[in-house]
Structures are given as structure tokens and as C-alpha cells.
Structure 1
Amino acid sequence: MPSLTLPEIPHYVADPPTQESLDFADLAVIDLSKSCTPEGRVALTREVHDALRIQGFFYVVNHGWSKAQVDRIFDVADHSFTSVELEEKRKLAFQPEQGSYLGYKLPRYWEIESKHGTLDQVEHYSINKDMHQRAHPEPLQPLLPEIEAFIAHNQNNILLPLLRLLAASLELPENTFADMHKMEDYSESATLLEYPNLPSPSYPRSEDEEQKTKNVRLKGHTDYGSLTLLWSQPVGGLQVLSSHDGKWRWVRHIDNALVINGGDALNFFSGGYYTSTIHRVVQPPADQRERVRLGVFFFCMPSDGIRLAPLGESPVLRREGLNKLPEGAVIPLVEDWRKGRSSQYGRVTLKQSMEDGVEEDVVAGVVVRQYN
């Protein structure tokens, strides 16, 4: 019988939530436990629909994991950075030029502000849901079963129920989206677990860099997958661009909750009915200014061979006139889209858009925007 004792690692002590008076976004809270009944699924379908249409962000609570289990995952996330030597991180470095985020990304790789050449501070460790695709650092070896169980929970108990609600919201068969994100599909695009560390304690940002970037740590952008699952943590910095008035608003921390947002793949599949959510990361509030934002993300992408085209069989999209693209429009493959976004982000010179504060790039024939 396997041991129930978890390997001992240092406990990560989270910071208290900010006490600053901030302009927080008013986001819906989705109680995922209601998805267990037909009546609950009907109600949640409308709630998820409205949340994605209005704000593009929402919280998920009652997701099946206790606070103690989530705290342990943050212990593992912190261990991924603090207990792994720099040399080992370099040996396991990611390869974005090949369209791969798997492994360690060290700080000072992405360009955040081109005029003065200001670089990022983000350090992250990315893992495919197939734990055997790549080697892992020695300090994480005893923890791999825990990580694998966490990936399975995100996939089966959070992502798939949400994808079924999304299918219902477009009046599609319930497994339409779930079949595009199968657990057994181990291509890198399928799902990515990522532990980001922002900023890295080894690479503090100077006051001069803060002024040059106007305190922005990651420019306004959209995620290129279907949904992003972020396990809420207390250090502020994440902001969402409100579509109704164009203002950036802070995302509040809710203990033992997830923050969910829609990405480009969902935008493609819905013909723009669900738009990609624009968000950014800025300097933390004054009472958390020197803190590190340790994050745990679960990024989901469709399988590589799928075309990013509107699901024309959706009655909702047909009624909205969004069931097909204009003649001559580019319909990229997921693989081309994923690799293009991975290799070009922060590494190419962006062009100024006609819209003030917006810069553009072209990936797989599609215009990609960043909001400066």
C-alpha cells in the first residue's frame, strides 16, 4: 500500500491580501459544485455565459480541493524555484524558438518596453500534463506524483465541467469542447501547468525601469489558449481591461478560488462571440510593493491538429451571424498558432497600431495585439 505521507519540503507562507483601496473589477463567482445536477448546470451555463460576455474573467469556488491541498501546491511551486540551482535550471531551459514553453524560463528574456530595451523579470517552470515528456529537476522528483494528481484534478474536475458549460451556452453537444481537450492528447498544446515567479528575487527591478514601463510588469495581452485557470494568490498585480469603459481594474484575491479567463482559441471557435480577455500585470499595491507574486496556472489549448475556425453548427453563432469567417480569412492550425505565439512573444519588434497605445504583430497570418 502506498504511503500517505507527503515528502517534506519548506512551507511557503503567503502574504496577507492588500489593504489598499483599489478599483477592483466586479467579477462573477461560479460555484462549480452546482454542476452536479441538471438544474445546477442550466443555471451555471447562463452564469458562465454572462461572465465571459461581460467581463471575460470570473472566479470558481467549490472546485473539489481543500485549502490545505491548494496550500501544498504553492509549497511545490515555491520549491520549483528556491530549491533548484541556477545551473540545473539552465540545463532544463525552455525552447521558445522551437515553439515550446516546457522547462524553465529565466528572467530578462522578453522585451517589455522596446524604446529603452526594458526586459522582463518573470521566471517560470512549465510542465506538460504528460509528466514523462521531459526531465525534471532533482528536487522535484519526489513530488511528481503530487503534481500529476494536481494536473488530473484541474483537467477532469475543473476544466472539463467548464468546457461542457461553454458548449451548452452555444447550444452545442456537451462534449464539443471537451473532445478538443482530451487528457490522452499529450501534445504540448493540450495543457500546460506553469509556476510563474514574478518578479524573481534574483532580478529586482530598478526605479528607472519602473518609470520607463509606467510600473507595468507584463503588457496588456490575451492568452492564446482556450481557458486559463489561475489559482488565486494574495499579492496584487493582475488587472483586467473592462470592455464597457476601457479602464484597467484590479483582480481581487479570493482564498481557495480560481480566476478563469477566456483566450484566443475560444474567441476563434466562437467567431468572436466570446472575445479574448485583455489583461496585464503591474507593480503590486504599495503595501505589497516588495513582494514576489508566486502563481500557479493551468493553461489549456486544443489539440494541435484542430483548425481555429468558428463552430458553424452552433445555433447561437448562426443567429448572431458569427458561424463563418469572411471569404479569404486565415484559419490557422492550433499547432502553428501555439508555436508562433510562443516564439514571437517578447522577441520581435511590434508595430504601432492605428489605435493609441496598441502595438501589433502577425502570427500564423493573424494580427495579434498588445496593449501598452
Structure 2
Amino acid sequence: MGSLGIEELPQTGTEFPFPIVSFEPFLSGGEAGRQTVAAKLYDAFHNFGWVYLKDFGISEAEIEQMFARSAQFHGQPLEQKLKYKLNDPSVSQGYTADGAESSDPHGGRSHKECYEHRRVNKLAPAAGDLDDWTAWADDFYNKLIILAGHVRDALAMVLGLEPEAFQAQLKQLDGQLRLLNYMGVPRKVLEEGRNFRINPHCDYGLFTLLFQDQIGGLEVDRFHDGKFVAATPIPGTCVINVADLLQRLSNDRLRSTRHRVVAPQMTKEMSDAIGPDGVLPARKSTAFFVHPARDTLITPMVEEGENGPHYDPVAAGCWRDAITAKNYRLPIPMATPEQVQAAKCVEMRYMMAANIEKKPRILSCDLHLLSHCRNHATTTATEAVVATPRISTAANDPPAKALPEDKFFWTYTEEPHRTRRQAIIKSHRDVLQLCGPEPLTKYVVLAVVALQISCAVLLKDTPIVSWPFFLTAYIVGATANQNLFLAIHEISHNLAFRTPIYNRLLAIFANLPIGIPYSAGFRQYHLTHHKSLGVDGLDTDLPTAFEAVFLDSVAGKAFFATFQLLFYAIRPMFIFKIPFGPIHFLNIAVQVVFDAIVIRYLGGHALSYFILSSFLAGSLHPCAAHFISEHYVFERSQVKGAKMPRDVPIPETFSYYGPLNVLTYNVGYHNEHHDFPAVPWTRLPRLYEIAKEFYEPLPYHKSWPYVIWQFILDKEVGMWCRVKRAEGGRLVGAWKESEVQS
């Protein structure tokens, strides 16, 4: 029995048996019985995303008739079935032939045919074709929509949400009855290459009711880690699995489960009888996909104590259209903002599916944290991973033919800083008093700018190719300009003045000795880095696969460390372009005028000193190591053996608490900075002291110079050692001041 009295189905070769729940007490019992069944369903969906339902009000005779009606339809000649061909994603009904659908992001083929039946705009057989077939389909559809409504009501009782609010979002359900025929197929077709009876996928509605015959072949990937287990057919039951929109709506409390259909499990006698070149038996199943009404806006319903929504809202109809169009290779108009937003979300969904199926290197703790729904998973292996976070080993390396992008560490959890910030605030409310501008910043900026101008004056007649010029630029100039880089970083968070425009102007002033205008553009890219940490395509701090491929050697890493400032300057323009506004124009104009004045009155050597100082500040300089130390994962020295609380995600940001922080606005306190970007540099050590129990367990760097040394020479550390995620985050607008301190 399960934790709530759920019967468990023994499954050979797996420690994750699927639950069986009787629905009869919900249909005919009192309030206590309904609550008990609802709790069992929630427990199953929360931990498995999958349940066998029995006693659900539809008889065995009706199920047998359904399979007979499916065989009746699929037994027609192909040309007859093609009269009802599915060709409109907004209708999403009709017939699709073998191989017409592909939910595989790699293009693998599904060997099946199916007919979709809905209540509107029916593409159904006429009365003269199959007698009363359409009337039967309508009647069976109605039985399933009633059952779906009961399941919805049960979930509303136990989701920890206001039942009225939950049911309001799902007031009108829109079902889709799919009759599937997996025709007999040569065994070697499924056992070679990327062909399946149906590709690995998640359903994209709310949930699915599934009826299967006794042939078998359905498999479930419970943790999205590529480890499929058989979902054995059980007479008298239907399967219910959670789909994407319910996971989004429940804010990840319920899990959309990945599944596929492959060759059925066979005994040796069965395998020998079929032979290596034989044909696998045909298989039939019927799915009832439960969707919200088209005009429903699926908005994550956040429970008290949660850290906000994990997903953006999406229009149910547009979401359904976009996925149907992609699966069936059909055109879909992009007209309304809702359609564009849904298409974007769908693309993210397929990117994640591609990364999962290609088995990239992922954080091993993601087995536990995958959907924020793993609190009840109690296997010893999972607990060990959470207690001792580590990066996955070679066993999780991608296959030889995987794309280069797979070599990064992919994670499917949200970034850790928001979670930790909320936990710290809950434990130490007084940390919020640390937020706000630091008046000292403007005076430090003024002093460093004055220092650099003074050095430029002293060196104006010194040959550029000389030791005095180079050493001054390296020791004084690079350190000073690195300080100004980080002053601009600090100012980008509005931490010098309370008035935003004053911060923008101070950043332009701090930019002067750097020689090249960048402060205005840096701000939006940097704030997007905070809001979209690790998100591929948004976080411009992440190296691209192109960089990692060509710099994956000692010489390549040395080249990157020497010229990393150029990478940080050029890379963002290839990721996304920011809108050009008045502040950018002002930044450029002021810098051009300043550079012209320097050349006019001090000469080219003075400007060369500024430029060389900036280059060296982002090169093989001790202070430049912070660029690498902040987010690159140094496996052996940082993660192995770290003791983390169960409810705190594994880190992907790393701090440094050494003396070079004095020169760099305490940027080494980087976990602290990402947790609380509104806390200025002077108060970050105080934040560490207040929340010491959160920060002491985290791995950190002891030496910035050693970071550069290890990054270049350690073959286990390199450009690939960054954590990436395929979804989440958002762009931060250049003038949206409200984004800065959240």
C-alpha cells in the first residue's frame, strides 16, 4: 500500500511501482470518501504524474465496444480514411496516417494511425459509411467528458488552491477523443534507429485518460531522465497522466509525465516465435485528451509560501494550435500577441524535450528537484544526491553523436537565488534593511577617475612599448578600470542614488577612463542576466557552444582568459540586441567628446593608456578572475562534499571572500549579490553574517589568481562548465526601473 492507502502495481525491474486508485468512493460516497479519493489522486499526480484508475463508471462492455469501433474505423481503406484528414491545427480533429505526426524534436518517426473526434466541426464518417459510428463516438465522448469533470473536481479539492478559482479557470473542458491503431510493424524497424510506435513526449493539455489493450509497449519516464519503465496493461483500469497545462496551472505541484510506446516486452518464447525479421503484433489504444476551453488563460496558481509563478501565462487555444501545427507540420498564422506568446512557450517546450532526449550532462540533483514536486520521493539514492550535491559524472555524458550544446550542464529547475532569497527573508526579516543606495560609491568613482586621468597625464610622453607604460597600465590602470567596471555594475542596480537618472549619469562618468562607451548597454544585459540566470538565449554571460567547441583546450582557454573582455563585449550582440535609446546616445556622445579632448590635450599615448588598462583589466589579471569564478562550475574543488540543506537548491553561483574584494566593490560576495541585488557593496559582508547558515555551506573560491590557473590547466574545467536552462527568465527593458531591485 502507498502512503495514502494506494494499491501499488508490482513492476519487474523498477523500484517505482505505479499506483492504482478506485474512483468509486468519489462517485458514490460521501464527503469523506470524496476527500480520500482526491487525496490519493493528488499524491499519485504529485509523485508520479501517473495513476491507474479503476471503478470509474464506464463498464468493461463499453470499453470493449470502444475498441471494436476503433477497429471498424481503421479497417476502412486508406483513401476512405483520408477523406477525414486532419489539416487544420485550430480544429485539431480528423485522421492522420502512419508517420504523419512527430512529437520528436529530432525528427524520429512514430508508426501509428489515429482519428481525432471532438464535439464541434466534426470530420466524422457519414451515416452511409459506418452506420451509427458518429452517434456512438458522440455518446462515448460525453461519458469521458463527464469523467474528466469529476477528475478536475477532485483535484480542485486538494491542490491547496481556492476550489472556486481553480474551477473557474477550467469551467468548460474541451476534450479530444483519439482512437489509435498501432499497425503490425517489422520488429527491426522499432529496434533500430529513432523509430517508435510513438515518440517520447509529454501530453500538452490538462490531463489524459488512456485505455490500452493487452499487447503492451507503453513506457513512462518518471523523472525525465531517460529511464523508461513499462506501464503494464491492467484489465478494468484506465490510465490518467498529467499534461503540460496542468503542470503550469498547478505551478509545478503536479508533474507532466513523459511517455512513449515501443515494442512490447516479450518472453524469450515470444521473441523466438516472432524472430528478428518478424512483425510485431498490432496494438490499439484510445486516449481522451482533456483541454481547457480555447479562450482560457492558463495562469499559474501560486500557493501561499511559494516563490511566485514558475511560468508565464499562456492562452490555451493558441498553445494547442501551436503544438498541433508543429506535430503535424501544419502552418499556423502568427497574428495576435497571444499566438506569438504561445508559440514562444511551445518552442521552449520543444527545446527542453530535445535536451532531455539527447541526455545532456545535467546536475545530478535535478532527479530530485526536476519539477519542484519531489518532496515525497524517499529513495535512498535521491536523498544521497540532495545531501551531497555534485555534478553528474561521465555516466551522464552525452552520446557521441549528440550536439555540442549538450555538453553544458543542463538543469530543469528554476535558478536558486529567488528560492534562497525568500528563505532568508523568512528567517531574517531584518536583511531588508540592508537594501538601498550607498552614498560612498560616488566618491570612490570620483577618486578612481581622477587617479586614471592623473596616470594618463604622467604617461602622455612615455613610449607605449615600454616597461614603465605597460607595468603602470597593468598594476594601476587595469586595477583601476576593473574597479570602474564594477562601479558601473553596482550603479546598474541603482545603488549610488535613489533617483534612477542620477545613476545613469554617474555610470557614464565612470565610463570615461575606460575609453569605450558601454555603460548604458551593459545595464540591460546585466539585469537580464539576473532575471534569466543560465537561460539559454537570454543570459549573455553564458558562453555559446561555438566558443566552447573552439576553445576546449589549454591553448583555447588561455586565449579566452587573455581576451575575455572582448568575448563579454561582442557575445551579447549575437544573442539579442537591445533597443537604442537616448541614454545610449548620451553615453556615446559623452565618451567621444572625452576621448577627443584627451587626444587633443594629452595625445594618443594617454588614450592608449586608458584602452590598454581596460584590456588588461579583462585579461590575465588577478581581479579579472571574478568573470570566471562567479558562475563556472569547478567540479572537484567546489561541489564535491558540500553539505546543503534539503530545501536549498544546488548552487550555480560561487563567492570569493578574499582581500581583492577591497578593490572590486565586494563583487566576490556573488551569491549574496544575486540573492539580494538591492544590497550595496558595503553591506554584503553584513548580509553574509546575518544569513551565515545559508552561505557557509556553499562552495566558494579561496583565490582568484588560482581560479585562472585552474581554469586554463585543469582538463576537467572549461568553457562547458556552465549551468544552462532552456526555459524561464525574461528580458529587462532599458527603462523599466521597477525591474532593478526585485
TM bucket (normalised to shorter chain) is 0.7 to 0.9
Query: Alignment partner for residue 143 of structure 2, among 148, 153, 157?
Result: 153
Return closer, same or farther for 1:249/1:62 CA change in 2, 3 Å cut-off.
same
Return closer, same or farther for 1:113/1:205 CA change in 2, 3 Å cut-off.
farther
In the TM superposition, 1:1-372 aligns within 5 A as 23=14, 26-35=17-26, 36=28, 37-82=30-75, 84-95=76-87, 98-111=89-102, 119-130=109-120, 133-137=122-126, 138-156=128-146, 158-174=147-163, 176-181=165-170, 190-198=174-182, 200-201=183-184, 204-205=185-186, 207=188, 210-213=191-194, 216-243=196-223, 247-286=227-266, 287=270, 290-312=280-302, 317-322=303-308, 324-325=309-310, 330-345=312-327, 347=329, 363-364=345-346, 366-368=348-350, 369-370=352-353, 371-372=356-357
Structure 1 unaligned blocks of 5 or more = 1-19, 349-360
The CA deviation string for residues 69-93 of structure 1, in whole angstroms up to 9 with x for no partner, is 21111111111101x2211211210
The CA deviation string for residues 258-295 of structure 1, in whole angstroms up to 9 with x for no partner, is 10000001011011111211111111122487211111
User: Is contact 2:95–2:116 with CA below 8 Å preserved after alignment?
Assistant: yes
Describe the SS at the equivalent of 1:164.
helix
Return closer, same or farther for 1:246/1:109 CA change in 2, 3 Å cut-off.
closer
Deviation at 1:22, TM superposition (A): 6.0
Structure number with the higher strand fraction is 1
Deviation at 1:108, TM superposition (A): 2.2
Structure 1 or 2, whichever has the larger Rg, is 2
Opposite residue 153 of structure 1, the aligned amino acid is K
The CA deviation string for residues 124-151 of structure 1, in whole angstroms up to 9 with x for no partner, is 0000034x53342544341333222211
Deviates more, 1:22-31 or 1:48-57: 22-31
Opposite residue 75 of structure 1, the aligned amino acid is A
User: In the alignment, which residue of structure 2 is the partner of 1:10?
Assistant: none
TM-score by length of 2: 0.40
Opposite residue 286 of structure 2, the aligned amino acid is V
Q: RCO (CA 8 Å, sep 6+): is it higher in 1 or 2? A: 1
Counterpart Cα distance in 1 of 2:142 and 2:313: 31
Return closer, same or farther for 1:298/1:367 CA change in 2, 3 Å cut-off.
closer
How many aligned residue pairs are there?
Answer: 319
User: Is contact 2:104–2:200 with CA below 8 Å preserved after alignment?
Assistant: no
Where has structure 1 moved over 6 Å in runs of 4 or more? 112-115
Deviation at 1:179, TM superposition (A): 4.6
Counterpart Cα distance in 1 of 2:349 and 2:139: 37
The CA deviation string for residues 226-269 of structure 1, in whole angstroms up to 9 with x for no partner, is 01000132111111112298621100111121100000010110
User: In the alignment, which residue of structure 2 is the partner of 1:3?
Assistant: none
Describe the SS at the equivalent of 1:161.
helix
User: Is contact 1:340–1:363 with CA below 8 Å preserved after alignment?
Assistant: no
Opposite residue 166 of structure 1, the aligned amino acid is L
Counterpart Cα distance in 1 of 2:224 and 2:346: 30
Counterpart Cα distance in 1 of 2:253 and 2:18: 19
User: In the alignment, which residue of structure 2 is the partner of 1:353?
Assistant: none
Opposite residue 192 of structure 2, the aligned amino acid is Q
Deviation at 1:180, TM superposition (A): 4.4
Counterpart Cα distance in 1 of 2:65 and 2:73: 13
Describe the SS at the equivalent of 1:162.
helix
Counterpart Cα distance in 2 of 1:25 and 1:176: 33
User: Is contact 1:330–1:365 with CA below 8 Å preserved after alignment?
Assistant: no
The CA deviation string for residues 97-118 of structure 1, in whole angstroms up to 9 with x for no partner, is x344311000122357787x65
Deviation at 1:364, TM superposition (A): 4.5
Describe the SS at the equivalent of 1:295.
strand
Describe the SS at the equivalent of 1:344.
helix
Return closer, same or farther for 1:238/1:209 CA change in 2, 3 Å cut-off.
closer
User: Is contact 2:103–2:327 with CA below 8 Å preserved after alignment?
Assistant: no
- Paired-residue identity, %: 22
The CA deviation string for residues 12-50 of structure 1, in whole angstroms up to 9 with x for no partner, is xxxxxxxx9665851111111111320111111211111
Structure number with the higher helix fraction is 2
Opposite residue 130 of structure 2, the aligned amino acid is L
Counterpart Cα distance in 1 of 2:31 and 2:220: 32
Describe the SS at the equivalent of 1:58.
strand
Counterpart Cα distance in 2 of 1:92 and 1:320: 47
Counterpart Cα distance in 2 of 1:280 and 1:257: 19
Deviation at 1:119, TM superposition (A): 2.9
User: Is contact 1:76–1:143 with CA below 8 Å preserved after alignment?
Assistant: yes
Opposite residue 152 of structure 1, the aligned amino acid is N
